[in-house]
Amino acid sequence: MGATGPVAPIVERRQELGISQHELARLAGVHYQTVHRMEIGTQVPTWETRQKLRQVLGLPEERYITVQQRNEIFMELDRPIWCVINQNRRILTALHADLDDVYQDLALCAIRAIDRYDPTKSSASVKTFAMKNVEVHIKRSFAYFRCRGLSGAAARNLESGVVVSLDFMLEAGLQFAV
């Protein structure tokens, strides 16, 4: 088999530098098996893992979209991101969330999604891919607040905003695994 596609430059560079698989894994903060399986072609690591490996090896970030293209795409997502915020305004208000902070968080999520976009693995457009990531991210954020507000000592010190926000989240149709 052997490494192909986005992992081939990583393998080639590791070999050029004479770094062992174990050493690369240690330097990148990933498990040895990830590097080994990548090199024999039985696993393609996530984009994030590949970036860690590339950084250690001095390779440029893996991209399908240039920085300029990413910035142009992101500018077109400004309004849709605000629409997601407005659709969830009631919950965000109950959480006492600063909407500008929420926007920054979702904008960063969109930028990262654009950077991770791989047209060979997604039939969606890059804009759709980024917005799906934004929508999942905001729902995960609600779940995070729910879990953090109802565990340990925090459960004894719940502010009314957190309690109300849970009601709003449930009314909004969000479902959480228990």
Beta strands in the chain (DSSP E): none
Comparing 116 with 11, the larger pLDDT belongs to 11
Give per-residue pLDDT as tens, 102-160: 999 999 999 999 988 888 778 899 999 999 999 999 988 877 776 655 444 443 343 43
Which of 28-37, 54-63, 169-178 is modeled with the greatest confidence?
A: 28-37
Q: Please give the angle made by the CA atoms of 2, 129 and 177, to the nearest 5 degrees.
A: 95
The pLDDT score that the predictor gives to residue 20 is: 95
Whether the predicted pLDDT of 172 surpasses 60? no
Residue showing tokens 């390779």: 59
Query: Torsion over CA of 29, 9, 108 and 123, rounded to 10 degrees?
Result: -120
Give me the count of residues in the chain: 178
Question: Whole-angstrom Cα distance, residue 160 to residue 95?
Answer: 9
How far lies 138's CA from each of 21, 116, 131, 145, in Å? Answer: 37, 18, 11, 11
